[in-house]
Structure 1
Amino acid sequence: MLYNSKILLFVLCLFVVTPNKLVASPELNSNSNLFLIQIDSLIKQKNISNDMTKLELLVLYNDALFEKHPDSVSIFKNLAIINADLNQPKDALVFTKKYINNTLDFSILNDGAYNVISDSEEYETLSEDYRLQLDWLTFLFLYVALIGFFFTIILSFSKKSNRQAKLFIGGFVGVHSLFILEFVLYISNFQYKVPHTYLMASAAALLYGPLLYLYFKSVISDFKFRTKDLLHFLPSLILILFLFPMYSLSGDEKVKIMLDINVVYNSNRYVIFISKVLSLTIYAILIGRDQYLYERKENHSKHNKVQTINKWKKTIYKIHIVYLISYIIYGLPVSGLLASFPYFINYIQVSIMSIMVIYLSYMAYVQPEIFKQEWTNLSEASRLSMEKYQKSGLTNALSKELKENLIKLFVEDKVYKENNINLEILSERLNTTRHNTSQIINEHFNMNFFELINKFRIKETINILKNDTYGNLNIIDIAYEVGYNNKVTFNKAFKKETSLTPSEFINSQFKKNVFVLGISLDGLRSQSKQNKC
């Protein structure tokens, strides 16, 4: 009540002194053309702090603004701070936004005057729009993004089988993680500090569909990436070229776009949204078609591995469809095609992406064999061979024990050197049945008995040949040494394993030895000359 009385008294005094014009107290100067530097110097000189004097300043600044003073930006700042200090949050909101839009200076909100209106809705709006926002949800999404990047790096650099498929699924997780990271920067307002991250994920907006499609192709068929498959990435290149003018802008210009000051590039949102929806839809149809045909083909298979991998791919595909739907719901209002939307829709879309990243990372940890894809690339005969062991009754503990014993027989005892070794004799050495031995070799080594024997024999042969520096050994002697009964079988097995005949391999080793010897001799001659000198 006392505060309102002061304001009323102040206004009445002004009109009594000069009825045609608002005039401040004589001490502050009544000239309507008072320059801002004079006002600021008076503030410092008088150490002004009482409400009446602030109201006088408010009138002077409004008067200067009305008369279109050239330093209007400073007027916005002073009016924002004074209104905040006088607990007038609505005016403080208006002038604060005008000042920030003109200067991109967010530090004004650090002024102590805003503490007066800190409980108001207007200050909450300013804080949400401009100040750094950190909460548990922000850290959660950041954590998911980091997990996704870690998964992408680990999977992409893995040198195990079907690296092609791993690169595709790793890239798929990577672009999701990039989008989640950009969302974190956006909701936390940290993007104002790093403006060049604005729409960074949009450069990869058209990669979601192709990467997932090529991954499915790699694991459900004997797919080899060829030059013509680069066409799947052509739309992404076109989109990047389209966005390049915006990406090349300065940081301040990008901040203006974020604040909707610069509306020149608003059409980018429509282009990104429409092209991404089309890409996601087209590739969802292609993946669904291929998956349907694959399931029809593999419908007879009851093997656990086949069922596990099929379930895994179905889950990824379902999450992809849900993401497509959520993106359409999110993108319609964001792109401007719908008037408004509840803000929580942003979180729904990113939450679905986070679920995708967490699910893939979890499966990589719990069931890493899914990413190896050895099973999906096996021949039909090999699958049928493995499926026959489905109900053998061999426990996991016994299977592990037999595997370890088998490795010991081959590595330490070198049973493969015995020319009469067969599955029956090997089973006796393992103290188990022929059926169990066959199952152990198939499941743990992904090959049959003869393939395993030949692998060890040829490896032993290579070691012998490499150590035979002077070429004193005969090929037939080596063949007998490693367990073969004749030269023909030995030559055939050797070429299958190394793509070279034994003679070709020996010649290559000889040339290598001569080259090394030549370097050594040159070194000795050089040393000899130095000693003579």
Structure 2
Amino acid sequence: MSFKSRTLLFVICLFVVSNKLVATPKVKTIPIFNIQVDSLIEQQSIRNDMTQLELLVLYNDALKEKKPADSVNIFKKLAILNADLGQPEDALIYTEKYIKNTLDFSILNSEAYNVIRGSEAHKELSENYMLQIDWISFIFLYVALIGFFFTVIINFSKKANRCAKLFISGFVGVHSLFILEFVLYISNIQYRLPHTYLIAALTALLYGPFLYLYFKSVTYNFKFRTIDLLHFLPTLILIVYLFPMYSLSSNDKIEIMLEINNSYNINRYVIFISKVVSLFIYAILIGKFHYSRRKEEDSIKGKKPVNRWKKTIYAIHVIYLVSYIIYGLPVSGLMLSFPYFINYIQVSIMSVMVIYLAYMAYVQPEIFKSYSVGTSENTIPPLEKYQKSGLTNALSEELKGNLIRLFVEDKVFKENNINLEELSKRLNTTRHNTSQIINEHFNINFFELINKFRIQEAIRILKEDIHGSLNIIDIAYEVGYNNKVTFNKAFKKETSLTPSEFINMQIKKGLYK
């Protein structure tokens, strides 16, 4: 045999031997199309990991052979097998493929997933698809329920303006609905209740109108007119825009949530931009309306708590506007994502607002009353503690006259040690009667009455001091104050100016030489 023949024979033998060494077991060379994939587990006796590995190979091969329509069940088998074999990454891949093809989340109830519990893949599956009920979602849910309770119960109150009740309850209601939707979203309950998807979007443009109309209601006797319906026109347009999405089936909505169905592509930035514009416009309107009337409203004694309340609500509204912009930019796709906790900050601000509104409505129901600026017909009525007083109308008028004489002629307010007890002695009546006279006829308390006369006297002195020869502290002592700080606070509270600012204003007007 020649050298070439021997070499050729050696190569052939080497090739045969190598094929024998790397040959796969017969069980894995069975043509997959001859096996019913759904009955593989029934045909195989799964007693150990090797059998599961063999099945894993068979399913992977079957996935390559089967048509896409036949692959769904294989995804499920591969997901469970990979989970049972402790391969979390592959389990994640096939689980998501199965869920997105079937919308069936029950696969996650399989005990096989206990093997990969604690892995990053299982954590991702849990956060994305499994129910997530924790203390944060519970607190937000609790706040939403409080908000809904307030929305209903406030309308049964008889001590509040009807329009104010409706608008403030609507304002709280839309916030509560947003919080509820957020709870359903972070807990993945929305996959089980798909028709709750974007439920809060219907009310996205109601925040501003409700708050603005509430401010009008508690500022004067506001009566809702037909033209005021224009405030709700943008909401109607938004509902029409969203209606095709709301009319979709539950499966279609789940596919939208899973981002596997773009047949109805709702532009989130449309909702975001329109809501930001609405919040911004009404923030300006409310601010202009409120602050332009604040000085007039302060003249209505007893309404200062309402003004403080409105100022706080307005501040929270502005903070909410800023937080919503930060929250909405990444959600709408107009900017790169912010850290996820930003979402919680925004909802937390809404929750604080809801709790604050509900609490204040409980402890101060008078904040929902309306008062007319510039009139005395709608000032706060006397306190109930005076309704059963034995003070007759004739005696009341007599004491009122004596009280005015003490203040106007005798100028008792200049005495720095004057108090309600001393004033009652000079009126020759009881402390209770003196307090009642002041409240009934002046709609203020004793200290407010004293300060009012003292500041009016100080203004008179300042105007007469055309040469500016008097010091502020001298004027403070003259009208009955013991120190400059108290005088400055009382002066600014009454006139919205400090004594120095008042003097400068007089100089600008040319009243001082």
Q: Structure 1 length normalisation: TM-score?
A: 0.69
Deviations 1:255-300 (A, max 9, x none): 111111112444331111011011001111111111121124345x
Paired position in structure 1 for 2:178:
179
Q: Which one-letter code corresponds to 1:113 in the other structure?
A: A
Q: What is aligned with 2:290?
A: 291
When residues 234 and 93 of structure 1 are mapped into structure 2, their CA distance, relative to the original with a 3 A threshold, is same
Equivalents in 2 of 1:90, 1:247: separation in Å? 35
Matches within 5 A, 1:130-529: 130-298=129-297, 301=299, 303=301, 305-373=302-370, 376-377=371-372, 379-381=374-376, 402-406=386-390, 423=396, 436-439=435-438, 441=440
Residue in structure 2 matched with residue 482 of structure 1 by the alignment: none
Q: Would the aligned equivalents of 1:134 and 1:188 in 2 still touch at CA under 8 Å?
A: yes
* Contact 2:159–2:365 (Cα < 8 Å) also in 1: no
**What residue in structure 1 maps to residue 470 of structure 2?**
none
- In structure 1, the partner of 2:75 is 76
Q: Tell me, in whole angstroms, the C-alpha distance in 1 between the residues paired with 2:65 and 2:39.
A: 20
Q: CA separation in 2, counterparts of 1:172 and 1:211?
A: 5
Identity of aligned residues (%): 62
User: Could you tell me which residue of structure 2 aligns to residue 47 of structure 1?
Assistant: 45
AA aligned opposite 1:281: F
Which amino acid in 1 is paired with 2:39? S
Q: Report the 3-state secondary structure (helix = DSSP H, G, I; strand = E; otherwise coil) of the residue aligned with 2:132.
A: coil
SS of 2:267's partner is helix
**C-alpha offsets along residues 96-117 of structure 1, whole Å, 9 cap, x if unaligned?**
0000000010010111111110
**SS, match of residue 341 in structure 1:** coil
Q: Is contact 1:209-1:279 (8 Å) kept?
A: yes
Please say if residues 24 and 56 of structure 1, whose CA atoms lie closer than 8 Å, have aligned partners that are also in contact: no
Considering Cα pairs closer than 8 Å and 6+ residues apart, tell me whether 1 or 2 has the greater RCO.
2
Partner SS, residue 303 of structure 2: helix
SS in 1 for 2:118: coil
Q: 1:49 Cα shift?
A: 3.3
Deviation of residue 40 (structure 1)? 4.1
User: What is the aligned partner in structure 2 of residue 457 from structure 1?
Assistant: none
Q: How many residues align?
A: 399
SS of aligned partner of 1:267:
coil
Q: Offset at 1:380?
A: 3.2
Alpha-carbon distance change, 133 to 385 in structure 1, aligned in 2, over 3 angstroms: closer
Q: 1:78 to 1:443 in 2, by over 3 A?
A: farther
Asked whether the 8 Å contact 1:195–1:254 carries over to 2, the reply is yes
Partners of 1:323 and 1:42 in 2: how far apart? 58
Aligned to 1:471: none
8 Å contact kept, 1:402–1:440:
no
Tell me, yes or no, if the aligned pair for 2:32 and 2:61 is still in contact at 8 Å. Answer: yes
* 1:394 matched residue in structure 2: none
Contact 2:159/2:366 (<8 A) preserved: no
Residue 63 of structure 1 is matched in structure 2 by: 61
Distance 1:170 1:223 in 2: 16
Q: Who is 2:418 aligned against?
A: none
Q: Deviations over 1:382-427 (max 9, x none)?
A: 68999xx9xxxxxxxxx76543335xx9xxxxx89xxxx6745999
Q: 1: CA distance between counterparts of 2:167 and 2:95? A: 48
Deviation, 1:218, is 1.3
CA distance in 2, matches of 1:384, 1:142: 39
What is the rounded CA distance, in whole Å, between the counterparts of 1:296 and 1:108 in structure 2?
65
Q: Residues 152 and 171 of structure 1 are in contact (CA less than 8 Å); yes or no, is this contact kept in structure 2?
A: yes
Deviations 1:146-180 (A, max 9, x none): 11111111112333341111110110000000000
Post-superposition CA distance 1:438-497 (Å, at most 9, x none): 4454699xxxxxxxxxxxxxxxxxxxxxxxxxxxxxxxxxxxxxxxxxxxxxxxxxxxxx
Separation (CA, whole Å) in 2 of partners of 1:223 and 1:41 = 74
Is the 1:156–1:167 contact (alpha carbons within 8 Å) kept by the matching residues of 2? yes
* CA distances 1:365-386 after superposition (whole Å, capped 9, x unpaired): 222222234xx33653468999
Shift in alpha-carbon separation, 1:250–1:148, aligned structure 2, 3 A: same
The 8 Å contact of residues 269 and 332 in structure 2, kept in 1 or not, is answered as: yes
Residue type at the aligned position of 2:32: S
> How far has the Cα of 1:352 moved from its partner?
0.5
Q: Structure 1's 327 and 17: CA in aligned 2 closer, same or farther, altered over 3 A?
A: farther
The answer on whether the counterparts of 2:218 and 2:369 sit within 8 Å (CA) in structure 1 is no
Counterpart residue type for residue 360 of structure 1: L
Conservation of the 8 A alpha-carbon contact between 2:218 and 2:367: no
The answer as to whether partners of 1:256 and 1:262 remain within 8 angstroms in 2 is yes
CA spacing shift, 1:161–1:354, aligned 2, 3 Å: closer
Amino acid aligned to 1:51: D
Using the TM superposition, give the Cα deviation of residue 51 of structure 1 relative to its aligned residue in structure 2, in angstroms.
1.3
Structure 2 residue matching 1:263: 3-state secondary structure: coil
Contact 1:403 1:440 in 2 (8 A): no
Do the aligned partners of residues 272 and 92 (structure 1) sit closer, same or farther apart at CA in structure 2, a change above 3 Å counting? same
Q: CA deviation at 1:55?
A: 1.3
Q: C-alpha separation between the residues in 2 aligned to 1:139 and 1:326? A: 22
